Amino acid sequence: MNETKDQTALRMVLRFGSMVFGASAIFLLALPVVFLELLGLEASLDQQWSMRMIAITLVALTGNMVVVSMYANDRGVRFASTVMQLSAFGLGVITLLIPAELTWFTILYAAIGFVFSAMYTFFLFRRG
């Protein structure tokens, strides 16, 4: 019974995560300068271009997360959730390692990654 609830929870975490990534993608596409400045990084044209390229990748990830959450079987949901668990943790770590002075936004962005990683971990490894 818990397995079914955990699968449903993982599907919801994937959907919620897709909304966060989708919002990030829009932010990166529309306002890369603001995003870079919030991270304490130089907003050079090269950096802005990189942020827009990352945004397009986030659009693809967002779509895949939605599709998996809605249509994948339980094994596919668990596999995608494991990938996202590790990726969200990695995003948190790499955000904290940005070669700039830490800002409130950097800490918040890292925390979001760690919270998602923790949610995936909880529902992947919880045993009834």
pLDDT tens-digit profile of 77-106? 999 999 999 999 999 999 999 999 999 999
Q: How would residue 6 be classed by pLDDT, with cut points 50, 70 and 90? A: confident
Q: How far apart are CA 28 and CA 18, in angstroms?
A: 15
Q: What is the pLDDT of residues 39-48, one digit of tens each?
A: 999 999 999 9
- Average pLDDT estimate for 27-36: 97
- Average pLDDT estimate for 6-17: 95
* Per-residue pLDDT, 1: 43
Q: How far apart are CA 73 and CA 78, in angstroms?
A: 9
Q: How far apart are CA 52 and CA 9, in angstroms?
A: 31
Residue 9 has pLDDT above 70, yes or no: yes
Half-sphere exposure (CA, 13 Å, Cβ side) for 111? 7
CB 127 within 8 A of CB 7: no
Residue 71 has pLDDT above 50, yes or no: yes
Q: What is the pLDDT of residues 49-70, one digit of tens each?
A: 999 999 999 999 999 999 999 9
Using CA atoms, how far residue 25 sits from 30, 51, 107, 118, 123, in Å, is 8, 9, 19, 22, 26
